[in-house]
Amino acid sequence: MSKYDIIVLGSGPGGYVAAIRASQLGFKTAIVEKSELGGICLNWGCIPTKALLKSAQVFEYLKHAEDYGLKVKDAEHDFDAVVKRSRGVADSMSKGVQFLMKKNKIDIIEGFGKLKPGKKIDVDGTEYSADNIIIATGARSRELPNLPQDGEKVIGYREAMTLKKQPKKLVVVGSGAIGVEFAYFYNSIGTEVTVVEYLPNIVPIEDEDVSKQLERSFKKNGIKVMTSAEVTSVDTSGKGVKATVKTKKGEEILEADVILSAVGIKTNIENIGLEDVGIVVDRDKILVNDFYQTNIPGYYAIGDVTPGQALAHVASAEGILCVEKIADMHVEPIDYGNIPGCTYCTPEIASVGLTEKQAKEKGLDIKVGKFPFSASGKAKAGGNYEGFVKVIFDAKYGEWLGCHMIGAGVTDMIAEAVVARKLETTGHEVLKAIHPHPTMSEAVMEAVADAYDEVIHL
């Protein structure tokens, strides 16, 4: 039986990062993976979807070339080539993880891993033991009873990025990050798209102003948006698919070639031996302490299988902290109130901290500032000036409570707010930090200025 200091079960952005950090700290490390290295994020999530979205954005530029004083005749898209490029990007990233495993002398154990008592893992009949086992098995597309996926007419995100034929009509059920990203992608290349959201606003976890702006942008681009609506049943017996949608006005039948179910995720915790070991699970999540220890000594869990936000960068941070705690380093628990969230449709969305509604519900006395990109010289020059930056501060102490952005490139801007909040920076300090001009990022400073009634360019 092979013996390790640390074995990681799963090679997604939580698992492979944990394995690398473990190796850096001198632990003899192995990683168990049943499929492609890099997990869902690199192979079927974050990375390939961004490749699809980039193709869509380039195509949009070509269609609007005349807005920039340029002429492009008969711009066309090749759906198969777009999908092929996306898969190529994913494959190269997966090979990059393979290189990192070799560079860091991490053993790759291929196969389905099942936890055993006594800090052991069975991988397709071969047992391995370790002083510490980290569970990082991630999640998959969640299926609703009234929306069963058949992989052809009712699909999840994996099928959505590798369809053999572009659908003429697509219904997207759910308007979280996955739903709105695919809605934007398919709409931009000519598919007729309808988004169905159960809650009153699309991207419902975002600030309401952001949700309303995205809905306006989507509708302007021809995407039909149905909120406070529920798909109660689907009929796949015909050539396409019919969805019965319950709304405040009554029932409506939507006809489409394909329905994309984007209603959340389901953790991959079945049949991996949790019950055999006695690891406690609650509502589909493995319970852990601040340092990702389960109730059974020697067994840890990180990423989507735990109660924190199901985001790649969260899983990576958890993996590093978990391993450093095992190494007996001084570490502090992650502040889950300061996790940035990013959505890569057009316009992009990025946010961190409290929404305005949440701040008011907490009874806080707040200052709110907002700066539209329509007043930004860089945004105007770039031709993408939809959206805004919105900031929320505690009125008494100047604490930066929340930051919410929608617009071109905002996913690259949100880190300023995350770092500032980590350093407990006040509104006045942000305001007096000189931002370069002309940039999109100076909209952050302008929004802060608006909160303190000092805005210049609005």
Query: d(Cα 236, Cα 321) in Å, to the nearest integer?
Result: 47
C-alpha atoms less than 13 angstroms from C-alpha of 28 in its C-beta half-sphere? 8
Residues in contact with 434: Cβ distance below 8 Å, sequence separation at least 6, in sequence order: none
Query: Catalytic: which of 77, 330, 404, 437?
Result: 437
50 is in an annotated binding site: yes
23 is in an annotated binding site: no
178 is in an annotated binding site: yes
Q: Which of 352, 385, 357 is nearest to 371 (CA)?
A: 385
278 is in an annotated binding site: no
**Interior CA angle at 172 toward 171 and 173, to 5°?**
115
175 is in an annotated binding site: yes
Query: d(Cα 294, Cα 283) in Å, to the nearest integer?
Result: 15
179 is in an annotated binding site: yes
383 is in an annotated binding site: no
Query: d(Cα 38, Cα 100) in Å, to the nearest integer?
Result: 11
* Catalytic residue list contains 437: yes
- The CA distances from residue 51 to 47, 88, 182, 345, in Å, are 7, 9, 12, 12
110 is in an annotated binding site: no
177 is in an annotated binding site: yes
Query: d(Cα 256, Cα 251) in Å, to the nearest integer?
Result: 16
Residues in contact with 39: Cβ distance below 8 Å, sequence separation at least 6, in sequence order: 10, 11, 12, 13, 14, 15, 16, 33, 45, 138
181 is in an annotated binding site: yes
165 is in an annotated binding site: no
Query: d(Cα 314, Cα 309) in Å, to the nearest integer?
Result: 7
User: Which residues does the annotation place in the binding site?
Assistant: 50, 113, 174-181, 197, 264, 304
User: Which residues does the annotation place in the binding site for NAD(+)?
Assistant: 174-181, 197, 264
User: Which residues does the annotation place in the binding site for FAD?
Assistant: 50, 113, 304
Catalytic residue set: 437
